[in-house]
Amino acid sequence: MDKRLLHKFVSDQCTSKEIDEFFASLDKPHKVDLKNKSLFENYWNDIDITENPNTEAAQRRLDRIHHSINLNQSNPKRDTKTLFLISKKLKVSPFLSRVAVFLLMPILTLLIYTHFIQPEIYSLLSMSSKYEIEAPAGSRTHFVLPDGTQVWLNQGSKLVYPKWFTGGVREVGLIGEGYFDVAPDKKKPFIVESNGMAIKAVGTSFNVKAYADDDVFETTLESGKVIVLKNANDKNSEVCDMQPGENFSFNKLNNKYSITKVNTSKYVSWKDGKLVFKDDGLGVVAERLSRWFNVKVTIADPDLNSLSYTATFIDESLDQVLEMMKIVTPISYTVSGRHKLSDGTFSEKEILIYKKGGKVE
């Protein structure tokens, strides 16, 4: 944008084509170059304060605005509403375009002030609208984010993301397990924050597993490259880089991590409806069966933890999976049905696994 176009817009002298050109230059305000930044700052500084002679009233209004902003900053989880929305690519007649220019002047001034003069306010406004998508127990969900990134959520998982990806990064919050096929944008990394840690990527396919009750944070890289961050609030707290085919595992109990070369299908095939085990101990199998079928699986005998399983299940029911496990290893199991609790809800179905021929306590 040049000074001539800005002056014509402010003076209400733009043609319809010039109006489109003006708003096209503001389409991605976070990418405005230094020339445009200087242009808007000069415009702001040149505004004659005498246009609003009632400075005391203006100051009171400004104080109320600052007070509202401080309240939001002190309570970042507060559910705020979108303050305004400018629809781009709106096709109207020249007359209506001029009317729109007149009506949008206060919004333009607010946009210039918040983005170029007080950018911290712009960031606050940008984050005011959040969406949440949750995959209920026993189901999986697939959807596409505003930037084109595809996301799969495993059962019992939730993703929180902004209505618009503004600023220099695309940040989302994950609880549970999710697979991400990230839309490429080298100038705007994609960051998944989960359980206190974060994964930073550009154009990449990877899986993150970090349920709230898990002691281990895991991510598996299928393609591209990611950076693991130990502190989700510190984008410089890099732990390591990952290459395709690697699995990163961080144990929060001993504060140690490991990177191993793996067959990624074991970690990502859940998004295609496949339950895959490859030399997994019975403890891992029990944990994954619990989430997959929304039941509680308990191992009665600690000695059974030495057993390992390699199998792929697609459409099998829980009973079929347990029967197959019973055939290949010396185990037995009992199933307890759901029962109604005092609060009116129902308990989980419980599966107790024990040694074949052993006694059930």
DSSP 289-304: HHHHHTEEEEES-GGG
How far, in Å, CA of 1 to CA of 147, rounded? 25
pLDDT at 4: 79
pLDDT higher than threshold 60 for residue 199:
yes
1 burial type by CB count under 10 A (0-12 exposed, 13-18 middle, 19+ buried): middle
Work out the pLDDT band at 360, boundaries 50, 70, 90.
low
pLDDT at 59: 52
How far, in Å, CA of 283 to CA of 294, rounded? 16
Tens digits of residue pLDDT in 272-317: 999 999 999 999 999 999 999 989 999 999 889 999 999 999 989 9
* Residue extents of the structural domains in the chain: 3-126, 130-266, 274-355
CATH number of 274-355: 3.55.50.30
Query: Which carries the bigger pLDDT value, residue 169 or residue 123?
Result: 169
Which residue type does 15 have? T
pLDDT higher than threshold 90 for residue 244:
yes
- Residue 130's φ and ψ, nearest 5 degrees, are -120, 145
Q: Class assignment of domain 130-266?
A: mainly beta
- Mean pLDDT calculated for residue range 186-211: 93
Tens digits of residue pLDDT in 172-198: 999 999 999 999 998 999 999 998 899
Query: Which carries the bigger pLDDT value, residue 5 or residue 211?
Result: 211
- Residue 201's nearest CA partner among 158, 147, 153 is 147
Matching fold, domains 130-266 and 274-355: no
How far, in Å, CA of 178 to CA of 152, rounded? 6
Strand-by-strand arrangement of the 295-299 sheet: 295-299, 349-355, 331-336
How far, in Å, CA of 177 to CA of 270, rounded? 10
The mean-pLDDT minimum among 42-46, 253-257, 269-273, 295-299 falls in: 42-46
pLDDT at 7: 74
pLDDT at 315: 86
Mean pLDDT of the chain, nearest integer: 77
Which residues are paired to 352 by β-bridges?
Answer: 298, 334
Cα-based torsion angle of the residue sequence 32, 35, 39, 41 in order, rounded to the nearest 10 degrees: 70
Token pair belonging to 261: 């070369």
Tens digits of residue pLDDT in 47-90: 554 444 555 555 555 555 544 444 444 444 444 333 333 333 34
